Amino acid sequence: MRLIRRPAEGASILPSGCVATIGAFDGVHLGHQRILARVVEEAGQRGLAALAFSFEPTPREYFSGGEEPPARLTRLREKVVLLAALGLDWLFCPPFDARMAALDPGEFIGQLLVRTLRVRHLVIGDDFRFGRQRAGTLAGLQAAGPRCGFSVEQVGSVVSNGVRVSSTAVRAALAAGDMAGARGLLGRCYAMTGRVVPGRRLGRELGMPTANINLCRQQSPVAGIFAVRVAGLADGLLPGVASVGTRPTINGSGPLLEVHVFDFDRDIYGHYIEVQFVARLRDELKFPDLPALQRQMHQDAEAARRVLATA
């Protein structure tokens, strides 16, 4: 899959046209997957490229002002990997800025869908809005389609265990520590990826060395202590225990993902790994001293081993 961030002004990146969909695709959950599968299927039938159109940052992040935007489920690199695995040919992901925010629905259609992408068929979800102040609607797209050379298809929501699958529902499940519920909405374990960076090496001093990963997002959708599995260090998944938080016992500053991989002792600084969250064990706590923290860390590790043995 090819990623386009900044196309040449006024030029089409796909002169022969494409089948496209538009959205934030945060989490690439089962609802997104249904829409994207239709894009890939229709593109194959028409002999056109399959394209997803998104923005970075997301419009909600851009308009958040001084307030915290919704927790980001997938940062751009994670989203690229997930979309590529679904068979898409292109991800068009321009920056969302003041110029983009000012486009009215007609300008959005003319400048982006027609001139830049040459969309021939557009697949959208049932809650899709676009353009300045989200004024663009399905009816507006259907009206513009015949004169602009594209058709429009709307795909209904996916419902899982009575819940409409959405990024909001995934965030709610993760915030509640319901990892099984999130898995049911995503079709996979919730995971974060990142490069292992040097830390204070306190875990090693306490008998549990950890791989430290910066979250690379303004707000984490998960917090606490988790039983996890780790990809990227061996042929298969490795079991472990992880913490996502601010490390209050040692007066930590920003949030960090720390992972202890069981029965593993290798220098992995610089490795890019994926941490899959299987079950939440407890909240992050502040302990009176390091020995108390150390005792709890070993209890957490044993709890994680028990969970992973049956998960």
Q: Is 18 exposed, middle or buried (0-12, 13-18, 19+ CB in 10 A)?
A: buried
Closest CA to 256 of 275, 237, 280, 282: 275
What is the separation of C-alpha 81 from the centre of its chain, rounded to a whole number of angstroms?
10
- Classify strands 49-53 and 18-22 as parallel, antiparallel or unpaired: parallel
Could you report the per-residue pLDDT of 1-45, keeping only the tens digit for each? 999 998 776 668 888 999 999 999 999 999 999 999 999 999 999
- Taking all residues of the chain, what is their mean pLDDT, rounded to a whole number? 93
The verdict on pTM exceeding 0.85 is yes
d(CA 34, CA 54): 16
| CATH superfamily, region 2-160 | HUPs (3.40.50.620)
CA dihedral 112, 114, 118, 121 (to 10 degrees): 100
Check for a shared fold between 2-160 and 189-310. Answer: no
Domain ranges in the chain are: 2-160, 189-310
Please state, in angstroms and rounded to a whole number, the distance separating the CA atoms of residues 259 and 263.
Answer: 13
Please tell me the predicted confidence (pLDDT) of residue 218: 84
Q: Which CATH architecture has domain 189-310?
A: Beta Barrel (2.40)
Measured at the CA of 183, the angle between CA 190 and CA 21, to 5 degrees, comes to: 80
**Cβ(131)–Cβ(139) under 8 Å?**
no
Q: Give 184-228 pLDDT, tens digit per residue.
A: 999 999 999 999 998 777 767 777 899 999 998 888 999 999 999
pLDDT score, position 258: 95
- Does the structure show a pLDDT above 70 at 66? no
pLDDT of 232 above 70: yes
The whole-number average pLDDT for the span 104-124 is: 96
The percent of residues in the chain predicted with pLDDT above 70, rounded, is 98
